[in-house]
Structure formats: structure tokens, C-alpha cells
Amino acid sequence: MNIEWFVNGAGAVLLLYILYRITLVLFNILGPYVFFRPIDLKKKAGASWAVVTGATDGIGKSYCFELARRGFNIYLVSRTESKLVQTKKDILAKHPNVQIRYATFDFTNPSPTDYQELLSQLNEVNIGILINNVGMFFEYPDYIHQMGGGLERLADVAIVNMLPPTLLSAGILPQMIRRKAGVIVNISSATGAFKMAQWSVYSASKKYVSWLTATLRKEYGDKGILFQTITPFIVATKMAGNPNTSFFYPDSDTFAKSALNTIGNSNDTTGYIAHQLQYEMMNLMPEFLFDRAVLKTSAELKQRALKNREEKSLP
């Protein structure tokens, strides 16, 4: 009798666990992207300016256009002034009623003094939203001792992916705390959610971004400030090698609009429904199958990158 009771109890617990996992997966996929309505972003931000790093290309640039469409003034931050000037012109051509400022900054520079100068510029305006988007990847995945660019590239990837969300959040939070309102979005990567061979430093640095955001949420969650981590898979951008768009590879404009709609509805999400589906499927995959899939994808990305390099070198 005791054994039968134990078996029945264990079976019930297992069934409840399976139902819980299925419910959680469906909630993560459908909740932020189908069922929940976007929040009033301006009310939650509490101020009219949005700062976006890595603002002249890819996802960052698309965030700028989408935020401008929603009525926010945009403070562009990136390395190349000519690109900043052009991005400013492009935004104003579509959204002439917003204000645009820009600041040049090379995020491979780890100097706290230079960060303080940048923050002095940014804090001249009332910042409601901070999008820590700037990031750096390698030309292609590889083993750490063979990584293209050597030790310098490894250091740059670690610095660019981890320092900006750390120091810019610390430097802009004081004004958000005073207002008891604000939104900080840190762009991580799905690679930071899984241990991925040949993605070592990039994967680890993106895990740092997710962990940092989660701890800041605990520290400041009662002060009216919202912290979100976005962990995308591949978006059709230059950084990703410009793959053709598809259901799983959205263009950056589609992605940014979707991701902004999840603010306030999910603290940690991929930003796009197809990516969330990928994430949930990979999270359920046995580790040995996952590792095999990662190595196959890494090899394909390396082959594509080398082919692109060869084509560019042709006269």
C-alpha cells in the first residue's frame, strides 16, 4: 500500500511538473507577443529623451527610429561622427517633430574618466529610456586560442559587451531615481542563455549583461524603474553577416518594434515571438543534441564569413 501510494504520488508530481513547464513555455511565447497590450511607455519612462548606444547600425538604429516614431527625443551614441550625423538627418526626415542629439564614443575605451565626460553630456537632458545596445562579436565563432584578432579582439569583445551597460546604467540611474521613473533595456543575446562551444567570450559577456540586469532589477525595482533584458537570436543585420530575412531572421526594424512592445510585459525575453519559440525549443533540447547543433551552426557561420571575406578581396 505504501509503495502504491508513493508511485501514485510521484506520478502526480511528475504530471504537475510537465503541465507547469508546458504552461510556462506557452506563457513565455504567447504572453508578451499575443495576449498583453503594450504599456504606456512615455508614462513609464517619465521623461522625453531616449539614449541609444550603437545607434548608427542594425538593432540600435532601428530602436532609434521606432522610439522617435513614438514621440521620444533621441540621443545617439556611437563611434563614428559621420554616421551619427547621417542617422540624425535620416530620423529627422521621417520624424521632424523630435529633437536629436549625438555623442561620439569608442566603447573599446575602458577609461572611467572618459565615461564620466560622456555621462556629463548625456545627463544634460532628462533621460526616460536607456537602451544599452552597443556590442561586439568576432568575425566568426572559433576556439578561444584561434580567435581572429587574437588577444586584442578578445579584450575588446569583453570590454564593449560588459562595460557600457554597467557604467552608463550607474551614471544615468541617479536622475531616474529622483523622478521615480525610467526604463533601462540591456541588449544581451540568446548566446548568453546557453553554454556554447566556440562562442566563449561573447557568450560569457552576454551572460554578464543578463545577470547584471536581473540584479539591478532587485536593487531598484521598488524605485519605479523598469529593467529589461532582451536576448535575441539572429537578426538580419551587418553584425550577423546580413542573412536573408525569414520567419526566424527578422529585419532590425521588425525586431525593434516587437521588442519595444514587450517592455513592461516581460522582464527577460528574446524580443521577438519566433526567437522566443527558438529559445523554448532549445531549452528543452537534450544537451548533447544542443551541443551538436551549436557546432554545426558555428561551422556554417565560419564558412559564410570566410566566403564573404574572399569575395571582398577579389578585384
Q: Transcribe 74-142 into DSSP letters.
A: EEEEES-HHHHHHHHHHHHHH-TTS-EEEEE--TT---HHHHHHHHHHHTTS-EEEEEE------SS--
Rounded to whole angstroms, how far apart are CA atoms 139 and 150?
12
Position 227, amino acid: F
Report long-range pairs for 306-310 (Cβ below 8 Å, ≥24 apart).
306/140, 308/241, 309/139
Rounded to whole angstroms, how far apart are CA atoms 43 and 56?
27
> What contacts 226, CB < 8 A, 6 or more positions away?
44, 182, 183, 184, 263, 264
Q: At 20, list the grid cell.
A: 507547469
Task: Write out the catalytic residue numbers.
Answer: 202
Residue reference for cell 528574446? 270
Give the DSSP H/E element, type plus range, for residue 288: helix 287-313
107-136 burial, b if ≥16 CB within 10 A, otherwise e? beeeeeeebeebbeebeebbbbbbbbbbbb
Rounded to whole angstroms, how far apart are CA atoms 137 and 154?
9
Q: Which residues pair with 102 in a beta bridge?
A: 76
CA-to-CA separations, 165 to 142, 152, 159, 227, in angstroms, rounded: 26, 21, 10, 11
